[in-house]
Structure 1
Amino acid sequence: MDRQNLTLMTDLYELTMMQGYFMHKDLNETVIFDAFYRRNPCDGGYAISAGLEQVIQYIKELHFDQEDIDYLASLGMFRADFLEYLKTFRFSGDIYAIPEGTVMFPREPVIKVIAPIMEAQLVETAILNIINHQSLIATKAARVCYAARGDGIMEFGLRRAQGPDAGTYGARAAVIGGCIGTSNVLCGQLFGVPVKGTHAHSWIMSFPDEYTAFKTYADMYPDACILLVDTYDTLKSGVPNAIRVFTEMREAGVPLTFYGIRLDSGDLAYLSKQARKMLDAAGFPDAVISASNDLDEHLIDSLKVQGAAITSWGVGTNLITSKDNPSFGGVYKLAAIRDEKGDFIPKIKLSENSEKVTNPGNKKIYRIYEKENGKIKADLICLAEEEYREEDDLVLFDSLEPWKKTKLKAGTYSLRPLMEQIFQNGQCRYTSPSVMDIRAYCQRELDTLWEETKRLVNPHEVYVDLSQKLYDTKIRLLEEMSAD
């Protein structure tokens, strides 16, 4: 997973289109593609960008090995001169992207590719595969962590993930979204994130009795002694035996630095409250009560409302698969073609569905914050040559209902360009932060959202507006297409 040539991880039509461009177009014709999405996952109010580091790795390794060429030749679909061209193929274009961990919204470019048309076409599938997956899991993790209201969330869905890569990169994304660690040891090794875990029911069952299993585990791991108490009977057996072990540790002078119990079945609200009473009565008020058992943000939120005495949560299947919303829905659309003069000619895709009509041209994004509180007011998509200054008044309008306008007075807002250049002329100009640094950045990003946008049900929508110039360009193209 450190070095991996994924060049053939693509849809066949990318290669057949490449051959068509090779035969019928100028190979140096430069285009712009935007990768973006149309709806927030899980009916939420935002998404979290993730996966850029793996996109960078993919672009760096992009080349056709001889075995790739031989395989393509065996399909009987590709000309010898095209296959010969592929032998020296490398990415030579520019890429701009929203950094990992950034809060993002529908319809704004997550990644912008400016490259010769064959290069820009080939990278479509892999970019979408990587960004869609990790952004989905990072967003799901952020929602789960929000529901936990400050409690720690541990990701441990590897055994239920759709394969090793999904489990490992999904765990990476979950940490970016806010999880404090993962059970996935390979993810810990690759990305320097904390690995955490306790023991299974099989550990308990392999000993003559529950107490002996607890005692043995506590002797081995006194500094991380979380005991699974529901193998036989949680309140009659599990919690009392855990208390017995904790008492013996304290009497032996073993520091109780991190210890407690885990619940993995039953009525978690009731059991946790009863266990809390028992632990407190025995003199262990700082004992952790953690819980697992098919948790997601909605169940955690419900347990919180019920007053569950749980302060640590293990979330597996529903997080690593984003079970209620298993795909992100990102798309990759042509936005402009450079003409012989070097100017980008905007292109637009029409649709009977208005949300599928694309925003044309070479674009960039400004994020607008309310200066008073640092919260996001809106995002503004504009053409690349446009510049905005905080010293000027700013008028925003709804591109679907343009008569709805908001005027921001100079000095009441601040601006931040969202996209950063990642590749220039095929060379990477960007250094990815560590996963834990991205996680910290993501937490700051989430703090810029209003609570109304973060709520799990019926969240407030953050407006993504178009500049007047971009809006006028879009309307002009629509009118020209209608006239035809």
Structure 2
Amino acid sequence: MTLSTTAGGQPGALFTDLYQLTMMQGYYRHGLHEQDSTFDLYFRRLPFEGGYAVWAGLEPMLDTLSTLRFSEADLAYLETLGDFRADFLAALRGWRFTGQVDAFPEGSLVFPHEPLLTVKAPLWEAQLVETMLLNTLNFQTLVATKAARCVLAARSSPHGGEVVEFGARRAQGPDGALSATRAAVVGGVTGTSNVEAARRFGLPVTGTHAHAWVESFPTELDAFRAYAAVYPDATTLLLDTVDTLRSGLPNAITVARELRAAGYELRGVRLDSGDLAYLSRHARAALDAAGFPDVRIVASNDLSESVIAGVIAEGGRVDVYGVGTQLVTAGGPGGGALGGVYKLSSLNGRPRMKLTGDPGKASVPGEKRVWRAHDGQGLLAWDVLTLGDPPRTGDAVSDPTNPLRAARLPADLTWTDARQTVLRGGQRTRPEEPLKAVQTRAQTDLAALPPETRRLLNPHRYRVSLAADVAALRDRVSAELRDHAGL
């Protein structure tokens, strides 16, 4: 069974958790569904034990929100569940999302405890879309962040290096594979092996041949020659079916000479097993000595940012890293899932918060703005949440999870409003941004992040703070909740 989607391919209205629908009916029955609500989407912990996250998935989510409707088939199915009354189902027939969404532009670097996206909408509208928002934005932000880490690791080589996405066969289903490719592009990858993703997102598509190709011919050299005969302008040869250095590499050089004699050039060789640093050094030396310095060396085999960094540290000479499983599944320490949450912060103009017994999980009430500062060198320096006005020099600010961790803002900061209104009245405020523009924004933000925050291991913590007005509101609402509960 495939996922029910709209005519445009976005998730349909039933792509939600049941309790969103049961709460919607409850709000409707009690006359609460049209209350003005504000929900914030944010996460509490950075993935991969890193210093940043790359915000991704916003553009496809805006498409979903602006076209979301309950179809007749949706309503017929809900009726079969026996939990929904006829008057509620009739009300859903004309339902659509009419709210406002304020968000960081896609591709921005984002950090814990700041509202990445705020939904302002009638309560039943804002409630329904929670699952879709979290599903799309959590996953794509996680993969985009993993991709950025791999790309930064590859670019640390003095010889340069790029990353392409090779993960379709290990992704979580077709939908996960396509979403992962899109998010990986936001994070900086330059191409994909997935033909459908390349078509859909306008990407370069890349690939070689499999071991089965070599095994289908009498000898490895026969296989290489046969492949080159079919694709003389685009031949990349897989070297490790028999023995990388003693068989695959000499045979590839033989074919490279034959291609050159016919007026073509071997494009690349691929390493898919073994000690990639050692093998790529020897392959580069042999190719250069044979007169083929422009043949690119491609590496695959369960790569991650740490493996890429290790290959480079050991003198590897890889030009292209094909990253698959670890990228599309967001594997590694601190990966697997982004813990994004969606919390009510205001209802009919009155602040709301989740207090809870764990201070680290308490939400921040009120309708907030996020201000981002660059320092005198143009580097990202500080994010501050306020109830309205931008921060000022000397203002006292505090950590969202530890009020005792306080500071005063220095004078050399330039503040900008970090978010934009991207949906108003349920419709986009601007055309969809091209994926390339989103990727460029991510690269710009990464270049502006201090190196000690950008590094892979033990990065410095980027500061996100509450202005005094937000902190005071949180303290007041928290005290009121405790008083009402008799705590």
| Match of residue 316 from structure 2 | 308
Identify the residue that residue 406 of structure 2 maps to in structure 1. Answer: 404
Give 1:280's aligned residue: 288
Aligned to 1:444: 444
Q: In the TM superposition, what is the alpha-carbon distance from 1:5 to its structure 2 partner? A: 4.9
Calculate percent identity across the aligned residue pairs.
Answer: 45
Task: Compute the displacement of 1:222 (Å).
Answer: 3.2
Which residue pairs with 2:228 in the alignment? 218
Q: Check 1:7–1:403 CA distance in 2 against 1; reply closer, same or farther (3 A cut).
A: closer
Aligned residue in 1 for 2:273: 265
Letter paired with 1:293? N
Quick one: distance in 2 between partners of 1:377 and 1:5?
37
Structure 2 counterpart of 1:239: 249
Q: Distance in 2 between matches of 1:407 and 1:126?
A: 37
Amino acid of the structure 1 residue aligned with 2:378: G
Distance in structure 2 (CA, Å) of the matches to 1:363 and 1:223 = 56
Mean Cα displacement is larger for which, 28-37 or 197-206?
197-206
Classify 1:175/1:294 alpha carbon distance in 2 versus 1 (closer, same or farther; 3 Å).
same
1:414 Cα shift? 1.4
Residue 61 of structure 2 corresponds to 55
Q: Is the 8 A contact 2:24 2:33 kept in 1?
A: no
Does the CA contact (< 8 Å) of 1:5 and 1:61 recur in 2?
A: no
Q: State the 1:403 CA deviation.
A: 6.1
Aligned to 2:303: 295
Matches within 5 A, 1:179-190: 179-190=189-200
Q: How many Å apart are 1:402 and its aligned residue?
A: 4.3
Deviation string 1:421-478 (CA, Å, 9 cap, x unpaired) is 1111222213221112211121111111111111112111101011111111111112
Shift of 1:61: 2.3
Q: Does 1:381 align with 2:385?
A: yes
CA displacement, residues 383-428 of structure 1 (integer Å, 9 cap, x when unaligned): 1x32457xx655544352446313321xx22122111111112222
1:154 alignment partner, SS class: strand
* SS at 2:409 equivalent: strand
Question: Is residue 16 of structure 1 aligned with residue 22 of structure 2?
Answer: yes
Query: TM-score with structure 1 length normalisation?
Result: 0.94
Q: What secondary structure sits across from 2:372 in the alignment?
A: strand
Instruction: Provide the rounded CA distance (Å) in 1 between the counterparts of 2:421 and 2:230.
Output: 49
Structure 1 position 355 matched with structure 2 position 360: yes
The AA in structure 2 aligned to 1:329 is G
- 1:198 aligned partner: 208
Name the SS for the 1:181 alignment partner.
coil
Q: Aligned equivalents of 1:93 and 1:200: distance in 2? A: 50
After TM superposition, give the deviation of residue 374 of structure 1 in Å. 1.2
Contact 2:384 2:391 in 1 (8 A): no
Is the 1:6–1:61 contact (alpha carbons within 8 Å) kept by the matching residues of 2? no
Distance (Å, rounded) in 1 between the aligned partners of 2:191 and 2:35:
46
Give the Cα–Cα distance (whole angstroms) in 1 for the partners of residues 61 and 111 of structure 2.
20
Query: Which range moves more in the overlay, 283-292 or 462-471?
Result: 283-292
Q: Work out the CA distance in 2 between the residues paired with 1:223 and 1:109.
A: 49
| Contact 2:181–2:197 under 8 Å retained in 1 | yes
Q: Return the match for 2:372 from 367, 375, 378.
A: 367
- CA-to-aligned-CA distance 1:194-227 (integer Å, 9 cap, x gap): 2111111111122222122222222333333221
Q: Which amino acid aligns with 1:378?
A: W
Q: 2:116 aligns with which of 110, 115, 134?
A: 110
Tell me the distance in 2 between the aligned counterparts of 1:359 and 1:448: 28
Q: Equivalent residue for 1:329?
A: 339
**Equivalent AA in structure 1 for residue 324 of structure 2:** G
Conserved 8 A contact 1:421-1:430: no
The Cα RMSD (Å) is 1.6
Q: How many residues align?
A: 471
Gaps of 5+ in 1: 339-343
Structure 2 residues without counterparts, runs of 5 or longer: none
Residue 251 of structure 1 is matched in structure 2 by 261
| Structure 1 segment 83-162 matched on structure 2, within 5 A | 83-149=89-155, 150-162=160-172
Looking at structure 1, the residues matched to 33 and 358 of structure 2 have their Cα atoms a distance apart, in angstroms, of 33
Match of residue 341 from structure 1: none
Instruction: Answer yes or no: is 1:320 the counterpart of 2:328.
Output: yes
CA distance in 2, matches of 1:374, 1:169: 32
CA apart distance, 1:285? 2.0
Task: Call closer, same or farther: CA 1:310–1:91 in 2, change over 3 Å.
Answer: same
- Aligned partners of 2:463 and 2:370: how far apart in 1? 13
Amino acid at match of 1:83: L
Q: How does 1:468-479 map to 2 (within 5 A)?
A: 468-479=468-479
Q: Is the 8 A contact 1:193 1:436 kept in 2?
A: no
> Quick one: distance in 2 between partners of 1:225 and 1:142?
28
Partners of 1:216 and 1:152 lie apart in 2 by 28
The residue that corresponds to 1:66 in the other structure is 72
* TM-score normalized by the length of structure 2: 0.93
Q: Counterpart amino acid of 1:362?
A: E
Displaced runs of 4 or more, over 6 A: none
Q: Which residue of 2 aligns with 1:431?
A: 431
**Would the aligned equivalents of 2:396 and 2:406 in 1 still touch at CA under 8 Å?**
no
